[in-house]
Structure 1
C-alpha cells in the first residue's frame, strides 16, 4: 500500500468517525425530549449540516388523512405544506418507501416548482428518504436540498438511510408520548367528571386512585383515601372486603342500599365493582363505582312514613270520632252534676275527672292533627315581638302550677313570615315538655335574635335533661321518656312545623342540668 492510499484511507476513517460521533450526538439530543416540534427542528438542522446541504424539509405522515404535512421548511416563509401520498417528489417517496437521489430537480417530471416560484428559491439537487419505523410503516419523509459541493453521492444515500431510521424512531416516540398524554388527560377528565365516586384498588387492597366525587362521598368517614389501605380508611364499610372477594371470584359484584354510620348520621350507598387485570401479568386490582343514595333512601322512608301515617290516620280518625262523642256527653253531664253537688269532696273529684277528660280530648285532637298528615300552611307577615307577647300569657298559665319562672329576651324586633297558629303550637309543645322536665320553681327562658338571614329562637330550661340515647329519637312519633301521660307526638309535631317553615331544629341537652332547643327559620328577604 503506497503512502497516498494509506493517507486516503486514514482520511476516510477519520471522516467516518466524525460522522458516527455526529450521529451519536444527534441521537442523544433526540432522545432527551418528547416535544415533536423540537425533534423535527433538530433533525432538519442536523441533517442539513451532516449532509453538507443548503436546507431540509421534514414531512410527517398523517395516516387518518393519508397526507404528508410539514412545518419545518428551513428559511422558507411558509406556515405549512400538505401533500397527498403520491403527490410530488415527497409524495412519491412516501408511496414507494425508497430513497430518491435527484441530480437535477428541473429535469424530473415529479418535481413541482411551485414552492420555488413562491419563494424565489432555486432547487437543484434533492436527496429524499422515507422515514420508516421498525414495522416498516411510514412515519414521514425527509427531503434534503442542494448539496453545497456537487451532487448527493451514494455515501450520502447510505448515510441518510441511517439518519432516517433514527429520525423515524424519535418522531414516533414523540407522537406516542403526545398520544399517551392526550389519552391520559382524556381519561382523567372522564374520571373527574363522572357522577359516581370512583376508586381504584390494587391487589394489596391499597387505594391508588380516587376522583373528586369519591373524596366528597367518603369525607364523613376519612380525610384521605389515596395511598391508604381500604381496611385503614374505610373500616366503617364492613361489606367492602366481602365485595372484593366476590369480584376476585366472579369478576364483578355489587352492594345495594348498604347502611353506614358516619359523623353520627346514617348514609346509604350503592357500590359496583369490577376486576382490573394487566395484560400479560397475573397482577390485578379492583375498580369501584360508588353512588351516595342517602337523599333518595331518606325520601323513600319519608314517603313510606307518610303512607303509613295516612293509613293510621284514616283508621284513627274514625275511632277518635267515636270516642269524642261520648266524651262530650260525659262532660256535659258532669257539669250538670257538679252544679247540684253540695259535698266539696265530691266536687273536687268531679273537677279532676273533668280535667282528665279535657286532657283526653286534647290528646285525641293531637293524634288527629298528626296522623291526618295535614300539610297546609297559612303564612302571614307579623311583628315577631307582638307574636311572642301574645303567646306569653298562655305559657305562663302552663307554668303556674309549678311556679316556674319564665324569662323572655327579645333581640329581634322585625317582621317574620309564619303560620301563627302552628307557631303557637310549636311554642306550647316545647314549653309543655319543659314543664314536664322541671320541678317546682324551675326556670324557662325564650331568646330570639337574627343571624345572617335567619331568625334564631332558643328555648332553655333547667330540668332533668334528655339522655343522649334519646336525643336522636326525640322527633320520632310516639316516643316518650319518663312521661306519666301524653302519647309522644309533641316534638314530632314541632319538627313538622319547623320543616313546613323551611327551618331547622337542634337539641342540646345535659342530664340533670337541662335542655336547650334552637329553632332556626328564614327571615323575609330584605
Structure 2
C-alpha cells in the first residue's frame, strides 16, 4: 500500500486536476521544501518563487502567519512586500478581524476583493486589489495561514486556489517538521538535563557512601557484590583485593555469606549481629553488621544492603576493661583477706616457735612445731603474692637495658635450667634501644615467665628469648592483631618462647585471670601479676600457644627513642 504524503492529501482541486504548469510549480516548491535550509528560510524561498511567477498575476506581496492558540492571534513568521505599517497592523491580530483570521476561524480557503476593515486604518483602499487566505492545517489542527496578494489583472479560479492549498499542505509539513525538530531538541535538552541530574545524584550518593565511617556493600540476591565503599574494601582486604563483582561465599564461605544475606528485623540495633573470621594470615577478625533489603520501584526485593564494621579492636578494649574491672575487684578482696590473715599467722608462728624451743627433748612435739612453722611460711609467701597483685608498687619507670635485665635474671634460674636439662638461647642485640620501664619489676616479670616455662617443659627442652625494634611507622601493621599498641610510639618487641606442652585455646584465653591455674600447686597469680605489672609499666603482653607445640609470650615495651 502506497502511503500518502501530507501535501498529496485530497483537497478541492487535487494535483491531478491542476494545469500542467501548476504541477511544475508544485514540483519546484517540493524541491525547495526538501533543501537543507531552516524552515523559515525554506518558506521565504517558496514565497519568493511564487511571487516571481508573472503568469499568476500576483502583487509581489505574501506572508505566512502562525497561530498562537493561547491568545487566539496570528503572529507573522515570514513576509514579502509588507511595509512596516503592514507588519504592525497584521502581527498579533485576533481571529475574525481580517480575511486571514476569518479563513482560520472557518477552516476554509478564502479569496477576497474587498479590503479588510483592519487594513483600512493603515493603507488607502485603492491599493488593495485582492488576496488569497489559505489555512495551514495538519491532522485537523490549524497551524497558521498563508496569504498571497494579487494584482488587478488576476483572475480567480478554483485551479489557482487548489494550487495554493497544495502549497499550504507542503508548508504544513515544513512547519510540522520544525515543531518536531523543536520538540526533539527540547526532548534532547530535557534528557541531557536528566542525565546531568542523575550523574550529580550518583556522584552525591557515591560521596555519601565513600564518606561513611563504616563499611557498606550492596549485593544482589545471588550474593554478588555490586557496590562497596573503601571502608568495606579495607575490612575484607585480607580475603580479597577486589570486592566488586565477587560472590560473598567465594571468600567468606557459605555459612558467613548466608548470615550476611539474611535480613534482620528493622528494630535490630546497628551492628548488633556479629561474625567472627580467621583471615588467611591466621588473624582473628570480628565483624559487626546489620542489613536491609534493597527494593526496586515496584517494591520487589532485588538485593541486600549490608552495613558492617570491624569491631575486633572494640571487642579487645571491652575485654580488657572487663578484665581490669575484675582484677581490681579481686585485688581489693585479696588485699582485705591478706591483711586479715597475716596478723593471726604472725601469732601462730610465734607460738609455734615457742613450742619448738620448749620441745627440744620431745621429738614428736618438735616435728609438729616445725611443720606448723613451714606451713605458716608457705602461707606468708602466698600472702606476699596477694599483696604483690593487690597493691603493686609504683613503678620507677626509666630508660633501662633489656639485655642487662635478662642477664641479671639468668643466674636466678640457672640451677633449675641445668637440673631440668633445658637450654636457654638469648638473641638481644647491643644496638637495641633501651626500654622505658622499672628494671626491678621487669626482672620479676621475666623470672615469673622463666618459672612458668620450666614447669611447662618439665625436662629436656629449650627457651628462646629474642627482641627487635618496632618503629612507630610499622605499628599499624600490628595494631589490628594487638589493639593495645599506640601508633605514636616506638616499641621493643620481646618474644619469649618455650617448646613445652602448650595450651588449648580455652586455657590460653584465661591464663592472665587471677587464681586461674592448671597446676596442682600455687594460687594462680603468677601470670596475673605479670599482666598487671606490665600494664603499670605501659607495656602489653599477649600469647600464642598451641597444644603440644609450645607457647610464645610477646611483650611490647615502649622504646626510649
With normalisation by structure 1, the TM-score equals 0.63
**In the alignment, does 2:22 pair up with 1:5?**
yes
Q: Is the 8 A contact 1:221 1:236 kept in 2?
A: no
User: Residue 517 of structure 1: CA displacement?
Assistant: 2.9
Indicate whether 1:14 and 2:44 are aligned: no
How many residue pairs end up in the alignment?
A: 413
Counterpart-to-counterpart distance in 1, 2:549 and 2:436:
34
Contact kept? 2:425, 2:464, Cα under 8 Å: yes
The equivalent residue for 1:465 is 502
CA distance in 2, matches of 1:427, 1:488: 17
Structure-2 change in CA distance of 1:367 and 1:102 (3 Å): farther
TM-fit CA distance, 1:419: 1.8
Match of 1:524 in 2: 560
SS of structure 1 residue aligned to 2:272 = strand
Question: What secondary structure sits across from 2:494 in the alignment?
Answer: strand
Do 2:277 and 2:286's aligned partners in 1 also have CA atoms closer than 8 Å? no
- Distance across 2 between alignment mates of 1:311 and 1:439: 34
The answer to whether the Cα contact below 8 Å between 1:465 and 1:512 also exists between their aligned partners in 2 is: yes
Kept in 2: contact 1:437–1:465 (CA 8 A):
yes
1:261 paired with 2:279, answer no
Deviation (angstroms), 1:502: 4.4
Q: Which of 148, 171, 192 is the equivalent residue of 2:189?
A: 171
1:430 CA displacement: 0.3
Distance in 2 (CA, whole Å) between partners of 1:511 and 1:174 is 68
Report SS of the residue matched to 2:306: strand
Q: Is the 8 A contact 2:436 2:557 kept in 1?
A: no
Q: Is contact 2:517–2:524 with CA below 8 Å preserved after alignment? A: yes
**Structure 1 residues 319 and 189, CA gap change in structure 2 (3 angstroms):** same
**2:359 is the alignment partner of 1:322:** no
For 2:530 and 2:84, the matched residues in 1 are separated by 98
Q: What is the CA-CA distance between 1:495 and the residue it aligns to?
A: 3.2
Q: Check whether the contact 2:466–2:496 (CA below 8 A) recurs between aligned residues.
A: yes
Given that 1:460 and 1:514 are in contact with CA atoms closer than 8 Å, whether structure 2 keeps it comes out as yes
Cα displacement (A) at 1:181: 0.8
Query: Deviation at 1:261?
Result: 1.9
Aligned counterparts of 2:71 and 2:378: Cα–Cα separation in 1: 101
What are the superposed Cα offsets for residues 469-491 of structure 1, whole Å, 9 maximum, x if unpaired? Answer: 5334433443323x221233322
Q: Is the 8 A contact 2:456 2:501 kept in 1?
A: yes
Change (3 A) 1:162 1:270: same
Quote the offset at 1:409 in angstroms.
4.1
Answer whether contact 1:272 1:289 (CA < 8 A) is retained: yes
Q: Tell me the equivalent position of 1:360.
A: 379
Question: Residues 336 and 437 (structure 1 numbering): CA distance in 2 closer, same or farther, change over 3 Å?
Answer: farther
Cα pair 1:396 1:406 within 8 Å, conserved: no
Q: CA–CA distance in 2 between the matches of 1:95 and 1:188? A: 48
CA distance in 2, matches of 1:97, 1:284: 54
Check 1:292–1:506 CA distance in 2 against 1; reply closer, same or farther (3 A cut).
Answer: closer
| Structure 1 residue 418 corresponds to structure 2 residue 455 | no
When Rg is computed on C-alpha atoms for both structures, the one with the higher figure is 2
Contact map agreement 1:381 1:415 (CA 8 A) in 2: yes
Gaps of 5+ in 2: 1-17, 46-67, 89-169, 472-489
Counterpart of 1:147? none
Per the alignment, residue 77 of structure 2 pairs with 101
After TM superposition, the structure 1 stretch with the greater mean CA deviation from structure 2, 438-447 or 421-430, is 438-447
Alpha carbons of structure 1 residues 510 and 227: separation in structure 2 relative to 1, 3 Å: closer
**Counterpart contact for 1:410–1:448, Cα < 8 Å:** yes
Q: 1:241 to 1:355 in 2, by over 3 A?
A: same
What TM-score, normalized by structure 2, do the two folds share?
0.59
Q: Matched residues in 2 for 1:287 and 1:448: separation?
A: 46
TM-superposed deviation, 1:317: 2.0
Structure 1 residues 338-487: aligned runs within 5 Å? 357-371=376-390, 376-396=394-414, 399=417, 402=420, 404=422, 406-413=424-431, 414-440=433-459, 442-452=461-471, 453-467=490-504, 470-481=507-518, 483-487=519-523
Per the alignment, do residues 345 and 13 of structure 1 end up closer, same or farther by CA in structure 2, a change over 3 Å counting? farther
Of residues 502, 519, 526, the one that matches 1:490 is: 526
Contact 1:243 1:255 in 2 (8 A): no
Instruction: Give RMSD over aligned pairs.
Output: 4.6
CA distance 1:230–1:450, shift in 2 (3 Å): closer
Cα distance, 1:466 vs structure 2 = 3.4
> Secondary structure at 1:288's aligned position in 2?
strand
**Displacement of 1:201:** 3.5
User: C-alpha offsets along residues 86-133 of structure 1, whole Å, 9 cap, x if unaligned?
Assistant: xxxxxx9x9999977377999999xxxxxxxxxxxxxxxxxxxxxxxx
More RCO (CA 8 Å, sep 6+): 2
1:434 to partner: Cα distance = 1.4
Distance 1:228 1:411, change over 3 A: closer
Question: Secondary structure of the residue that 1:325 maps to in structure 2?
Answer: helix
Determine the C-alpha separation between the residues in 2 that align with 1:106 and 1:338.
Answer: 143
Give the Å deviation of 1:429: 1.1
SS at match of 1:455: strand
Deviation at 1:378, TM superposition (A): 3.0
Instruction: Describe the shift of the 1:48–1:196 C-alpha distance in structure 2 as closer, same or farther (beyond 3 A).
Output: farther
On the 8 A contact 1:363/1:487 being kept in 2, the answer is yes
Distance of aligned partners of 1:432 and 1:294 in 2 relative to their CA distance in 1, 3 Å threshold = same
Match of 1:215 among 198, 223, 233: 233
Alignment of 1:21-420 (within 5 A): 101=77, 160-219=178-237, 225-229=243-247, 233=252, 235=254, 237=256, 240=259, 243-244=262-263, 246=264, 253-254=268-269, 257-263=272-278, 270-280=288-298, 282-332=300-350, 357-371=376-390, 376-396=394-414, 399=417, 402=420, 404=422, 406-413=424-431, 414-420=433-439
Question: 1:198 aligns to what SS in structure 2?
Answer: strand
Which runs of 5 or more residues in structure 1 are unaligned?
A: 23-45, 54-91, 110-152
